[in-house]
């Protein structure tokens, strides 16, 4: 997830949230085409794969880092409900080695380092969070030194792939750059042979635009223009795109997205020519000129939650109105418990050492996926390898703790500049 300053929207039904929309009713058209994620990210060997000596006390304790405040505070409830649901199901299936798994009392704070220290003091073996990528380093530094495994359900900053964690940091959400081949595929599916890339200045815009250019080259599309802009100053970039005459324009932006779309519309380069990155998609409505986005497409990470999963979450929290990051949180808790079961130990180092294998990175061996803690636990007891595929889809942590499969929802804009879900795409790569 981007830093709070970079995020847009409130996540209400009228707008998209910082990385996911509220999951209200929408028409879903399954496309489901597998794409190749650009490259093998980061340096190999960051995630733990070595065997460790058992060091747990027999009770698996899970902590949460809830770091959302202000307009983003709605994100806390979905993650908390998902964590509670997962722990309930794990305990219903017998817990860890016959003992109930403990979900430590939650606290909401932007000071993730202090939160992390409190969770270490409380005996956490694994911590789920944080949400905000900008706060991840502070948490990783504290928790990795304490040999506590960390699984974030929301961090998307590409740079975290390379962050030194001693092999204790994982995330069930894909890095921002994973969307690049999906954006390129949308352009190619529309018949485009050439693209222009407009990106907002900043790490997100630069990282994703570089990945888009590489994905376009791999897909045989020509990139005829690449232009950067600052928020509110996109006129020159839009003019550059128009002069190059591309078949499609891919906009990679966050805070400056609305202004850039307006400038592209003025240049005759919006509408169906336009493809929006996950940071740029929003419910713009009357904030843009009539039909400015008609036919435009954009993507958001994740998959539409099943009715069953939604019902289970609401049963945990009847007041829940948003399910952003719920699937990723639920899967993070399950993976931690399954890793502890596979290791027969609840110590953070043992969990970190098993997360790659239980997530499905079994080398060349084909493994039948299991979809719950009980199902995976039964396989472990029978001496079989496991591959947990959860509510967020297949995961398969690579040696940097990154997922090797990224799922995206595709949205198409109507004449009133509002978007509705119109499909889905999956980008996958081999683990590094």
pLDDT tens, 118-135?
A: 999 999 999 999 999 999
Length of the chain measured in residues = 432
Supply the angle between the helices 112-121 and 136-145 in degrees, to the nearest 10: 20
Q: What is the pLDDT of residues 267-310, one digit of tens each?
A: 999 999 999 999 999 999 999 999 999 999 999 999 989 999 99
Q: For residues 19-27, give the mean pLDDT.
A: 35
Position 70 scores a pLDDT of 85
- Banded pLDDT at 378 (limits 50, 70, 90): very high
Residues 6+ apart with CB under 8 A from 269: 196, 238, 241, 242, 249
Q: For residues 355-359, give the mean pLDDT.
A: 96
* Segment holding 144, helix H or strand E: helix 136-145
Say what percent of the chain tops pLDDT 90: 82
The model's pTM is 0.89
Strands 405-413 and 297-301: antiparallel
Residues 6+ apart with CB under 8 A from 26: 304, 420, 421
Q: How far is CA 427 from CA 145, 188, 262, 310, in A?
A: 33, 15, 30, 25
3-state SS of 376-431 is HHHHHHCCCCCCECECCECCCCCCCCCCCEEEEEEEEECCCCCEEEEEEEEEECCC
Nearest of 352, 349, 342, 359 to residue 398 by alpha carbon: 359
Q: For residues 233-243, give the mean pLDDT.
A: 98
Q: Which two tokens stand for residue 168?
A: 């204790």
How far is the C-alpha of 79 from the C-alpha of 396, rounded, in Å? 21
364 pLDDT more than 90: no
319 pLDDT more than 50: yes
- Banded pLDDT at 22 (limits 50, 70, 90): very low
Q: What is the pLDDT of residues 143-183, one digit of tens each?
A: 999 999 999 999 999 999 999 999 999 999 999 999 999 99
């Amino acid at each position: 997830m981007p830093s709070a300053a970079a995020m847009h929207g409130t996540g209400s039904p009228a707008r998209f949230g910082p990385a996911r929309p509220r999951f209200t009713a929408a028409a879903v058209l399954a496309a489901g085409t597998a794409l190749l994620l650009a490259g093998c990210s980061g340096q190999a060997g960051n995630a733990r794969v070595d065997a460790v000596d058992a060091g747990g006390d027999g009770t698996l304790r899970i902590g949460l880092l809830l770091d959302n405040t202000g307009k983003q505070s709605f994100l806390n409830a979905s993650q908390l409900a998902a964590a509670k649901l997962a722990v309930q199901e794990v305990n219903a299936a017998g817990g860890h080695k016959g003992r109930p798994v403990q979900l430590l009392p939650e606290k909401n704070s932007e000071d993730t380092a202090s939160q992390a220290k409190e969770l270490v003091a409380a005996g956490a073996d694994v911590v789920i969070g944080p949400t905000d990528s900008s706060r991840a380093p502070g948490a990783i530094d504290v928790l990795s030194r304490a040999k506590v495994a960390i699984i974030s359900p929301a961090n998307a900053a590409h740079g975290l792939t390379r962050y030194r964690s001693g092999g204790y940091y994982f995330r069930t959400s894909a890095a921002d750059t994973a969307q690049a081949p999906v954006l390129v595929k949308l352009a190619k599916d529309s018949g485009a042979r050439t693209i222009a890339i407009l990106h907002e200045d900043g790490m997100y815009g630069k990282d994703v635009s570089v990945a888009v250019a590489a994905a376009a080259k791999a897909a045989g599309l020509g990139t005829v223009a690449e232009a950067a802009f600052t928020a509110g100053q996109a006129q020159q970039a839009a003019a550059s795109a128009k002069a190059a005459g591309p078949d499609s324009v891919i906009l990679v932006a966050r805070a400056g997205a609305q202004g850039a779309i307006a400038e592209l519309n003025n240049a005759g380069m919006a509408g169906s020519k336009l493809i929006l990155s996950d940071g740029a998609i929003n419910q713009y409505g009357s904030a843009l000129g009539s039909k400015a986005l008609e036919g435009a497409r954009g993507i958001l990470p994740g998959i539409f939650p099943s009715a069953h999963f939604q019902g289970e979450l609401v049963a945990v929290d009847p007041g829940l109105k948003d399910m952003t990051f719920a699937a990723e949180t639920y899967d993070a808790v399950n993976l931690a418990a399954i890793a502890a079961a596979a290791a027969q130990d609840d110590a953070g180092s043992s969990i970190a050492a098993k997360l790659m294998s239980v997530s499905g990175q079994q080398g060349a061996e084909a493994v039948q996926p299991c979809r719950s803690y009980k199902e995976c636990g039964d396989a472990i007891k029978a001496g079989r390898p496991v591959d947990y595929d959860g509510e967020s889809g297949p995961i398969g942590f690579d040696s940097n703790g990154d997922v090797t499969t990224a799922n995206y929802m595709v949205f198409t804009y109507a004449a009133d500049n509002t978007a509705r879900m119109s499909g889905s795409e999956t980008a996958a790569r081999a683990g590094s």
